[in-house]
Amino acid sequence: MKPVTAEGKMSMFPNPVQKWVRKPLLLIGTGMLISVLLISLVGPFLVPNDPLAVNMSERLQPPSEKYPLGTDHMGRCLFSRLAVGAQTTLGITALVIFSVIVIGIPVGLISGYAGGRLDAVLMRIVDGLIAFPEFVLAIAVAGFLGPSLINLMLSIVLVKWVRYARVVRGIVLSEREKEYVLAARVGGCSSWKILYRHLLPQILSPVLVLAALDVGTVILIISSLSYLGLGIQPPNPEWGAMLNDGRSYFQTFPELMFYPGSAILWVVLACNLIGDGLRDAIHETDPTF
Amino acid sequence: MTPLLEINRLSKCYPGRVNALVDVSFSLAEGECLGLVGESGSGKSTLAKLILRLETPDQGEILLDGAPLHALRGRALKNARKHVQVIFQDPTASLNPRLPIWKTVIEPLENYPDVSPSFLSGIRHAKRQMAAVLLDKVGLGPDVLDRVPAQLSGGQRQRVAIARSLSLQPKLLVCDEPTSSLDVSVQAQILNLLKGLKNDFNMSYLFISHDIAAVHFMSDRIAVLKKGRLVDVFASGQLFETRRHPYTRQFTNCQPM
């Protein structure tokens, strides 16, 4: 038997930090996201003006010392609104992604492992929801429930969890016939133990990638619904709602739409870079994924 | 005296395919090693899965110590399972790639807190110590305890799988082609290890392989499976006799002994 040294093999398995650093795009994406997270955490304490304070005598001002990015059509500080709006947008996004994962993983695990009639019922529900374009369905649900923050989140979670359940079920279906799962069953593991000890770790990295890529689309849906008036209600600052506010001044003061639009672009780009980078990084160590 | 394992007219058919197993009957005495040979698709692995209760038979009986293993469910099945353990063909697939070796090895012992094998007396509460003792039984040092399967060679991984199968001190060990994915030089080591463990632990083996030489080396009796049917059962020493089934003689003729 040939001796295998731990050190010799370790170089094939670089630790996660090394891997992160070696991927420039992943690093850039992470940096971009961290910058926005910092602004959303610290921003509300450092903003120069009250984001809700209307001052009709100073509407549509150019950037100045008092207003770093100028003011909007109601004389509110654009910079302050962007910084405080970051918290709303990112907070809702995080909550939505979290709920989607919490619903999608158990449904996928149980559906894939139990099989049979339960699987058939759950997957027909998933098929039904996937059949609609997700944005149209989200608009329909949000419109039906009425404009509010909770309904906004509910509608996005409803259209998003199905893809997670699908992905998880697919992985479980291929993993559950593998010999390490069979060996665990022969060794007396209960179904629950097989699910959380052997199958759950296998699905975490693909779900992480899916979630990172989805952050961008969720932000876009939130902004779009707010833009349509179905999401965050005025006067609360939110990027999509700010886009909507600036619409009527697009020809004369395009910066009212440019700033929130750029903020959305920045975060969506960051999340897509992270998602793509993570997928490549996982693919390198586990080519089957 | 009832045999340890008795298979009566066992049949299994997968939907949309030919019969995987037709009317198979044999018995396995305590301490005996029964070799099972057959080409790919002959139903060897199906038989193993039925005995391990990973599949349920369409017809027939599987009696373990006289108890109907094929009909057990729930808690009774879990209790019967501890007497029958398995070594699979591919040790890379049969070990969870993310679990450190010591956790894999003692997982069955965690599932059966009431089982207390004689070789673990006194340390039944100390998980890492139990893992070290089990690994020692298969010739691995304590340095592999904290590694993951990817950091071991194929032969070492198969030894880990063997250590796991020993942990409950089973009465019957199903070896489903335990050497066919290993290097030739490692195959002999694993066969010798299995032969030694069989005596030390007083286990019975169902030794499945398409390698007639390995089966001849390991087994007291040999059963030959062809297209789901048992065509020949004989004592290992009678392998080269002229009255063997023509299918068995194909095996002995085409393989260098």
Domains and CATH numbers, chain B: 1-83+207-257 (3.40.50.300)
Work out the pLDDT band at B152, boundaries 50, 70, 90: very high
B27 forms beta bridges with: B6
CB contact under 8 Å between B107 and A187, yes or no, is: yes
Which residue from A1, A178, A184 is facing B155, i.e. has the nearest CB? A1
Work out the pLDDT band at A285, boundaries 50, 70, 90: low
B207 forms beta bridges with: B35, B175
Neighbours of A137 (CB within 10 A): 17
- Hey, what are A29's tokens? 């994406």
Which residue from B82, B94, B189 is facing A188, i.e. has the nearest CB? B82
Q: Does the pLDDT at position B2 exceed 80?
A: no
Work out the pLDDT band at B256, boundaries 50, 70, 90: low
**CA atoms within 13 A of residue A144's CA, in its CB half-sphere:** 8
Q: Does the pLDDT at position B141 exceed 80?
A: yes
Nearest Cα of chain A lies from the Cα of B23 at a distance, in angstroms, of 25
Amino acid at B131: A
Instruction: List all residues 6 or more positions away from A10 whose beta carbon is below 8 Å from its beta carbon.
Output: B151
Query: CA nearest A11 in B: which residue?
Result: B151
Q: Both ends of chain B: CA-CA distance in Å?
A: 36
Lowest mean pLDDT among A4-13, A116-125, A279-288, B118-127: A4-13
Q: Are A206 and A172 in contact (CB under 8 A)?
A: no
- The answer to whether B56 contacts chain A (CB < 8 Å) is no
Question: pLDDT of A86-96, one tens digit each?
Answer: 888 889 999 99
Q: Which residue has the tokens 């030489």?
A: B213
Amino acid at B155: G
- Of residues A5 and B176, more confidence is placed in B176
Angle of the A200-227 helix axis to the A134-145 helix axis, nearest 10: 60
CB contact under 8 Å between B161 and A190, yes or no, is: no
Q: Does the pLDDT at position A17 exceed 70?
A: no
- The answer to whether A204 contacts chain B (CB < 8 Å) is no
Q: Are B53 and A181 in contact (CB under 8 A)?
A: no
Listed residue (A141, A117, A137) closest to A129, CA to CA? A137
Highest mean pLDDT among A13-27, A43-57, A159-173, B226-240: A159-173
Q: Is B249 helix (H, G, I), strand (E, B) or coil?
A: helix
User: What is the predicted pLDDT for the residue at B28?
Assistant: 93
- Hey, what are B192's tokens? 């010798």
Nearest Cα of chain B lies from the Cα of A284 at a distance, in angstroms, of 15
Q: What is the mean pLDDT of residues B229-242?
A: 86
Q: Are A11 and B160 in contact (CB under 8 A)?
A: no
CB contact under 8 Å between A201 and B98, yes or no, is: yes
User: What is the predicted pLDDT for the residue at B104?
Assistant: 94
Indicate the average pLDDT of chain B. 90
Q: Is A92 helix (H, G, I), strand (E, B) or coil?
A: helix
Q: What is the mean pLDDT of residues B22-49?
A: 91
Rounded to whole angstroms, how far apart are CA atoms B184 and B182?
6
Question: pLDDT of A122-151, one tens digit each?
Answer: 999 999 999 988 889 999 999 999 888 899
User: What is the predicted pLDDT for the residue at A1?
Assistant: 42
A186 contacts on B by Cβ (under 8 Å): 52, 54, 81, 84-86
User: What is the predicted pLDDT for the residue at B29?
Assistant: 92
- Hey, what are B32's tokens? 């005996």
User: What is the predicted pLDDT for the residue at A5?
Assistant: 43
Query: CA nearest B90 in A: which residue?
Result: A179
User: What is the predicted pLDDT for the residue at B246?
Assistant: 84
Q: Are B28 and B79 in contact (CB under 8 A)?
A: no
Rounded to whole angstroms, how far apart are CA atoms A262 and A36?
12
Query: CA nearest B109 in A: which residue?
Result: A187
Q: Is B36 helix (H, G, I), strand (E, B) or coil?
A: strand
Nearest Cα of chain A lies from the Cα of B169 at a distance, in angstroms, of 12
User: What is the predicted pLDDT for the residue at A48?
Assistant: 82
Nearest Cα of chain B lies from the Cα of A243 at a distance, in angstroms, of 47
Rounded to whole angstroms, how far apart are CA atoms A152 and B39?
61
Nearest Cα of chain A lies from the Cα of B71 at a distance, in angstroms, of 16
Work out the pLDDT band at A19, boundaries 50, 70, 90: low
Amino acid at A44: P
Q: Does the pLDDT at position B145 exceed 90?
A: yes
Domain ranges of chain A: 54-285
Q: Which residue has the tokens 């610290």?
A: A42
Rounded to whole angstroms, how far apart are CA atoms A278 and A285?
11
Fold of A54-285: MetI-like fold (1.10.3720)
User: What is the predicted pLDDT for the residue at A9?
Assistant: 41
Rounded to whole angstroms, how far apart are CA atoms A163 and A108?
9
User: What is the predicted pLDDT for the residue at A103?
Assistant: 95
Q: What is the mean pLDDT of residues A103-114?
A: 94
For the four alpha carbons of A225, A228, A232 and A238, in that order, the dihedral sign comes to positive
CB contact under 8 Å between B93 and A185, yes or no, is: no
Question: pLDDT of A206-263, one tens digit each?
Answer: 898 899 888 888 988 988 888 888 888 878 888 888 888 888 888 999 988 999 999 9
Neighbours of B168 (CB within 10 A): 22
Instruction: List all residues 6 or more positions away from A79 whose beta carbon is below 8 Å from its beta carbon.
Output: A47, A48, A49, A67, A68, A69
**Phi/psi at A59 (nearest 5 deg)?**
-80, 150
Rounded to whole angstroms, how far apart are CA atoms A219 and A224?
8
CB contact under 8 Å between A180 and B93, yes or no, is: yes
Q: Which residue has the tokens 């027909």?
A: A124
Q: Which residue has the tokens 């259209």?
A: A159
Any idea what DSSP says for residue B227? Answer: T
User: What is the predicted pLDDT for the residue at A284?
Assistant: 67
Q: Are B86 and A186 in contact (CB under 8 A)?
A: yes
Rounded to whole angstroms, how far apart are CA atoms A94 and B114?
45
B28 forms beta bridges with: B5
Q: For residues A235, A83, A48 and A45, what is the CA-based torsion angle, rounded to 10 degrees?
A: 100
Listed residue (B196, B144, B135) closest to A3, CA to CA? B144
Q: What is the mean pLDDT of residues A175-181?
A: 92
User: What is the predicted pLDDT for the residue at A61?
Assistant: 83
Question: pLDDT of B176-219, one tens digit each?
Answer: 999 988 888 899 999 999 999 999 998 999 999 988 889 999 99
